[in-house]
Amino acid sequence: MSKSLARVKRAIEECGLQAEVMNPGPSRTAEAAAQACGCALDQIAKSLIFQGRSGAIYLFVTAGGNRLDLTRAAVLAGEPLERADAATVRARTGFAIGGVAPIGHLSAPTIFADPRLTDFDMVYAAAGTPDHVFAVEPKALIEACGARLAAFTR
């Protein structure tokens, strides 16, 4: 088992989440994850990491079919943002792009969650690798990762 997957499983236990970790197949993109999980695209809790000019990182967890609005996201963060590069994502979260989980980070970022996720009974989030996801009730996930519900999509 990869260190990243083990860290997510440990975080699931520590948070007391009722979550099922699965290996449905390649899940590097929201579209691939939805197909592998057999769910609606918006049931994929997509993790997007951005970095502010201050060096702080921010995680935006959005429904799979939604696109982040950079202007809205920057207002929430309180500073201009740019997409974090792969090296920064790996160093700060401990995850590779395509497997960034909303929990279990090396350094906890500030997290915002898309309200669209709460329209579902179950969502699927990356579990630390591009092939693993975990199924979880969205409100429990949002609470567990300490996210703030906010409008940041277009």
Q: Each residue of 69-118: pLDDT tens digit?
A: 999 999 999 999 999 999 999 999 999 998 999 999 999 899 999 999 99
- The number of domains in the chain is 1
Q: Give the per-residue pLDDT at 26.
A: 86
Residue 78 lies in a domain: yes
**What DSSP state is assigned to residue 39?**
S
With respect to residue 154, please indicate whether it lies within any of the assigned structural domains: no
Q: Look up the pTM and report it.
A: 0.95
Tell me whether residue 55 is in a domain. Answer: yes
Task: Assess if residue 132 is contained within a domain.
Answer: yes
The reported pLDDT for the residue numbered 57 is 97
At 149, the amino acid letter reads L
d(CA 3, CA 145): 19
Q: Judge whether 94 lies within some domain.
A: yes
Tokens of 45: 């809790």
Alpha-carbon Rg of the chain, whole angstroms? Answer: 14
64 belongs to a structural domain: yes
CATH number at residue 70: 3.90.960.10
Domain hosting 14: range is 3-149
> With contact defined as beta carbons under 8 Å apart, do 42 and 116 qualify?
yes
Give the pLDDT confidence of 23-81 residue by residue, as tens digits. 998 888 899 999 999 999 999 999 999 999 999 999 999 999 999 999 999 999 999 99
